[in-house]
């Protein structure tokens, strides 16, 4: 019995930390294999039919490796994100959009910036005729009929704080369009001790575009110039955003 107790890996034990590191490393190995297979699919998919049976072995390999990564490390957000993309975008055997949606939401809630951005883009879609700058937005295939702009902005904001330039531009553009700062964002900033004073939407948007520009995104610079032109009275800020 004594041996059984001593083998328990409590959080403070070095063996526990080694176990976590080992699981993370193994999961990343599976993710690398899955991503490699998916990259090969993306390389040839433009020259084949979406349901080309020759793609099935590669898609299966990708799916199996992402699933194995989650088995090894159930907290891995990268595996969740890529597995969600498989269910959404590719004709992999066993694909299910509901499963993809659940995985994407989980990855976003667990803090994955790519998942937060993609979920935000999905929630941002309000009708079939939405027009957007291809460099600023991209949309995942609709799986759930969501029209909650506040939730989309919250996802964009979380992703932008983690360095996602596209999410910063999306959040800033929505602010310029007249969208209100979501309550979730206000509470988040309040916990960090900031955001007590009211900041004009244009200034909040300017901060987001500057964040994108600092990350090396040319579109961020483009939007900053637009705001500067508006400041000089050449155009109204809202004329620069999506209709």
Tokens of 76: 């891995």
Provide the number of structural domains found in the chain. 2
Distance separating alpha carbons of residues 8 and 1, to the nearest angstrom: 12
What is the per-residue pLDDT for 166? 75
Give domain status of residue 122, yes or no: no
- Shared-domain flag, residues 103 and 136: no
User: Among residues 112, 137, 153, which one ends one of the domains?
Assistant: 112
Residues 174 and 198 in one domain: yes
Chosen domain end from 59, 79, 112 = 112
Q: Are both 72 and 148 inside the same structural domain? A: no
Output phi, psi for 85, to 5 deg.
Answer: -65, -35
134 with 63, same domain: the answer is no
Q: Tell me the pLDDT tens digit for each residue of 168-186.
A: 887 888 888 888 888 888 8
What does pTM read for this prediction?
0.54
pLDDT (tens digit, 9 = 90+) per residue, 201-228? Answer: 999 999 999 998 888 877 788 889 888 8
**The pLDDT of residue 58:** 94
Residues 6+ apart with CB under 8 A from 184: 150, 154
**One domain for residues 154 and 101:** no
What's the sign of the alpha-carbon dihedral 55, 58, 61, 66?
A: negative
Residue 101 and residue 163 share a domain = no
Of the three residues 66, 87, 112, the one that is the final residue of a domain is: 112
Same structural domain, 159 and 201: yes
Residue 71 lies in a domain: yes
103 and 155 in a single domain? The answer is no
Q: How many CB atoms lie within 10 A of CB 36?
A: 13
Residue 241 CB neighbour total at 10 angstroms: 20
- Residues in the chain predicted with pLDDT less than 70, given as ranges, are 1-21, 122-148, 195-197, 233-243
- Looking at the fold, whether 64 and 176 belong to one and the same domain comes out as no
Range of 32's domain? 10-112
What whole-number distance in Å separates Cα of residue 164 and Cα of residue 115?
Answer: 11
d(CA 225, CA 213): 11
Q: Can you say whether the dihedral through the CA atoms of 189, 176, 199, 208 is positive or negative?
A: positive
pLDDT of residue 19: 58
Same domain (yes/no): 104, 133: no
3 found inside a domain? no
Let me know whether 184 and 211 are in one domain: yes
Residues in the chain: 243
Same domain, 76 and 137: no
- Domain assignment present for residue 215? The answer is yes
Domain membership flag for residue 4: no
Rounded to 5°, the CA angle 159-162-166 comes to 50
Residue 50's nearest CA partner among 85, 89, 87, 88 is: 89
Place of tokens 């900053």: 224
120 lies in some domain: no
DSSP alpha helix (H) spans, 134-242: 149-161, 165-177, 183-191, 201-214, 218-231
Asked if residues 54 and 48 have their Cβ atoms less than 8 Å apart, the reply is: yes
């Amino acid at each position: 019995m004594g041996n059984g107790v001593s083998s328990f890996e409590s959080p403070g034990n070095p063996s526990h930390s080694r176990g976590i590191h080992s699981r993370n490393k193994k999961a990343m190995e599976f993710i690398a294999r899955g991503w490699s297979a998916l990259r090969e699919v993306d390389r040839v998919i433009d020259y084949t039919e979406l349901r080309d049976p020759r793609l099935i072995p590669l898609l299966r390999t990708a799916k199996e490796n992402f699933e194995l990564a989650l088995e090894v490390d159930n907290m891995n957000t990268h595996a969740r994100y890529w597995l969600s993309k498989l269910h959404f975008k590719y004709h992999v055997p066993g694909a299910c959009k509901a499963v993809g949606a659940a995985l994407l939401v989980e990855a976003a809630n667990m803090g994955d910036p790519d998942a937060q951005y993609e979920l935000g883009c999905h929630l941002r879609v309000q009708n079939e005729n939405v027009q957007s700058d291809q460099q600023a937005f991209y949309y995942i295939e609709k799986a759930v009929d969501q029209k909650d702009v506040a939730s989309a902005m919250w996802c964009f904001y979380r992703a932008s704080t983690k360095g996602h330039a596209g999410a910063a531009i999306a959040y800033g553009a929505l602010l310029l369009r007249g969208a209100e700062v979501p309550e979730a964002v206000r509470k988040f900033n309040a916990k960090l001790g900031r955001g007590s004073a009211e900041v004009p939407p244009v200034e909040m948007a300017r901060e987001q575009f500057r964040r994108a520009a600092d990350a090396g995104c040319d579109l961020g610079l483009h939007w900053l110039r637009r705001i500067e032109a508006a400041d000089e009275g050449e155009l109204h800020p809202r004329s620069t955003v999506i209709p």
